[in-house]
């Protein structure tokens, strides 16, 4: 989404008729952040500055809102995102070793992206399928019972999708 093309009244819809101008702008903030991230894969500072001017919301408040949610990113992300579950069940079944294996294999730490932008490595508290522990998600795919062999397959797939 181009911030310049954002039409506040149209985006807020009918409910906007009972809102003040400021309320309409604030009602749109999360949606606008989601659209910017969809377009760029993260929230570039320039886009947030434009959004601040467009909505009349101070940049500091935009950052305050965006940093509250884990779903928003402030640096470019990889084309692949591997997320190691470090919840209790996965922790007990070796999540730490899996995380370390990712870090060694790709030369990055949790929360970082490889220089070639092929992979971002993250952790999560629980994916909700503890019976499959240890669990890793790769993009939208859930991989359970991650053994050394499965880890190698994940690495192969990520390198293939470079
Ligand atoms: S703790 Fe890993 S899926 Fe629940």
**CA atoms of 102 and 23, how far apart (whole Å):** 44
pLDDT tens for each residue of 5-32: 777 777 767 777 777 888 888 888 999 9
pLDDT tens for each residue of 73-82: 999 999 999 9
95 vs 4, more confident: 95
141 backbone dihedrals φ, ψ, rounded to 5°: -90, 135
CB distance 83 to ligand 1 below 6 Å:
no
**With contact defined as beta carbons under 8 Å apart, do 37 and 81 qualify?**
no
- Between helices 21-40 and 45-55, what is the axis angle to 10°? 160
Closest ligand 1 atom number to CA of residue 91: 1
146 backbone dihedrals φ, ψ, rounded to 5°: -75, 110
Q: Note the pTM of the prediction, 2 decimals.
A: 0.75
Span 57-61, average pLDDT? 96
Structure tokens at 18: 């009972």
Q: 111's torsion region: left (phi>0), alpha (psi -120 to 50) or beta?
A: left
Distance 95 CA to ligand 1 centre (A): 10
CB distance 87 to ligand 1 below 6 Å:
yes
- Give me the residues paired with residue 141 across strands: 138
Q: Which of 10-14, 37-41, 85-89, 149-153 is least confident?
A: 10-14
Closest ligand 1 atom number to CA of residue 89: 1
């Amino acid at each position: 989404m181009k911030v310049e093309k954002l039409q506040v009244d149209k985006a807020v819809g009918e409910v906007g008729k009972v809102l003040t101008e400021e309320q309409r702008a604030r009602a749109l903030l999360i949606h606008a952040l989601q659209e910017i991230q969809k377009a760029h894969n993260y929230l570039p500072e320039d886009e947030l500055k434009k959004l601040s001017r467009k909505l009349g919301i101070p940049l500091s408040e935009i950052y305050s809102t965006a940093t509250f949610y884990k779903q928003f990113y402030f640096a470019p992300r990889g084309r692949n995102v591997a997320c190691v579950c470090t919840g209790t069940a996965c922790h007990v079944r070796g999540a730490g070793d899996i995380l370390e294996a990712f870090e060694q294999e790709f030369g990055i730490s949790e929360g970082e992206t490889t220089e070639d932008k092929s992979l971002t490595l993250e952790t999560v508290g629980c994916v909700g399928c503890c019976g499959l522990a240890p669990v890793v998600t790769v993009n939208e795919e859930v991989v359970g019972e991650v053994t050394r062999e499965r880890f190698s397959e994940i690495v192969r797939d990520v390198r293939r999708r470079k």
